[in-house]
Chain A
């Protein structure tokens, strides 16, 4: 298996707080990796560092051999990394369809096109197909602001997915989603992602979600990766459970 993401010695301190402390991990193509840890462990910081939203104080990040340190999020995204957020980052005033259309246009390199229409028929068809896969096509013409919470999450992920990334980073995809909807959401997501063979790293709070869907889990605590292995084994370990205290 080829390595898609190599993280070496990643370090980031905010004053006295170590959000990332010499993190080392290699993620391989096709993997479905979950990251768990208590609040403040540095999970979102990890995603911010990898995607260039933050610049680390030390360490290297390589994506398919290409050094990412120093790049801005838009450059990192252009290389093939998509990201969804804990609080969905959408274009609230645009319709759900327009959100996706824009993502598709930008993925194709047509983001700077000022003459042709965004609502190009071929693009619209592709957008609708994408929305169907994510179960959102019923909401297509409505403003993204009107979506229910689960829908907003899905759209946020759909936007990242529309870029046809090789690596997808998701920050708490099921947070804020009701317990009843959680697994339906993940079932949909995982099916789409596995089918398209997208390597996925997702930060999660919910242990059940990680247990069910991840091939591999990283446990973060105080900025350090304290465990790295299969969910079945790791999540039974009482030490781990204590370190991640607060979940359940």
Chain B
């Protein structure tokens, strides 16, 4: 990234920090939610760059949120920064196990299997009423910051800055990853698995690593959303949550690291306004916007997303 891009990024960061104090509280809430969920959308994009569409990211999103929830409510761990670590770690632990299975599949089967795991987790969250509170969920009290309790009027601003900080750090890390050999190798897996193997690379390993990394992002997202909303419930693991992440990911396209964040924020804003003015039709509005973009935006966001036509991907090697 050259000087001018760093400068622009820095300027945006400063602007974002300033906006936190300037904008009305409910706007800050929306921005925070957008940033937080944007990380989950980013995880979907990460997997898409490897050629995989996951319909089960909500699993890690919920796992992160509930891990933080349990730590807060049952284990008495109140420190925000520790909770921010617990969520992703729990999610990555889960992914390390599930990834062993999932990394052997592609396309529809990968999507369906990831969906199955997420829905199974949803079932557990609902049924294990005594532990998880069932469909009522768990309330998330405000965490402490560096061991100090947070004043309630400061909570919203703090959560916003927390989300902003996490996003900034994650964007940097993901960007580094994207420019590294592993980042390119993962893209190469999407382009041509056979060639990757014939360069000595382990395709399965690349996918497994990407899967675990993506899970970590989702787990972090879950913790942040738990802080922002103050309440978690099994809906976090439902297929529509995963679907929402995929939807937003495709809105922004997969070619840039920051686009998922932008589209996530935009989505939350649109959703909020749409819900306010058209509570029974906001989904319809969203769906129509989506279709309009797909069909009428000439070569719009989609050329970034569409992979090369079948004939150019990993050709049949048999002679």
Q: Verify whether A and B have any Cβ pair under 8 Å.
A: yes
Q: Show the binding face of A for B, using Cβ within 8 Å.
A: 43-45, 47-48, 51, 53, 72-74, 77-78, 82-83, 85-87, 89-94, 98, 101-103, 105-107, 110-119, 145, 159-160, 163, 171
B273 CB–A CB distance under 8 Å: no
Q: Measured between C-beta atoms, what is the minimum distance from A215 to chain B in Å?
A: 23
- Report, nearest first, the 6 A-B pairs whose CB atoms are least far apart: A44-B319, A105-B181, A114-B182, A89-B195, A91-B191, A77-B200
Query: Is the beta-carbon distance between A118 and B197 smaller than 8 angstroms?
Result: no
Q: Which residues of B contact A92 (CB under 8 A)?
A: 191-192, 308, 312-313
A106 adjacent to B185 (CB under 8 Å): yes
Contact of B318 with A163 in the complex, beta carbons under 8 Å: no
Q: Nearest-CB distance from A79 to chain B (Å)?
A: 9
Contacts of A119 in B (CB 8 A): 179
* Residues of B participating in the A interface, judged by any CB pair closer than 8 Å: 176-177, 179-185, 187-188, 190-192, 194-203, 205, 209, 307-308, 312-319
Distance, CA A138 to CA B184, complexed state (A):
22
Is the CB–CB distance between B184 and A77 below 8 Å? no
A115 lies within 8 A of B187 (CB)? no
Give the chain B neighbours of A73 by CB distance below 8 A: 194, 197-198
25 pairs, A vs B, C-beta closer than 8 Å: A45-B319, A47-B319, A73-B198, A74-B199, A74-B203, A77-B198, A87-B316, A89-B198, A89-B314, A91-B188, A91-B195, A92-B312, A93-B308, A102-B188, A105-B181, A106-B185, A111-B199, A112-B182, A117-B180, A118-B179, A118-B181, A118-B184, A145-B312, A160-B198, A171-B319
Asked if B183 and A72 sit within 8 Å, CB to CB, the answer is no
Q: Kindly name the residue among B198, B201, B205, B313 whose own CB sees the greatest number of chain A CB atoms within 10 A.
A: B198
Min CB–CB distance B180 → chain A (angstroms)? 5
* Contact (A85, B180) CB under 8 Å given A106-B185, A145-B312: no
Contacts of B183 in A (CB 8 A): 114, 118
Nearest residue, chain A, Cβ from B316: A87
Q: For A51, give its contact among B176, B177, B198 (CB under 8 Å).
A: B198
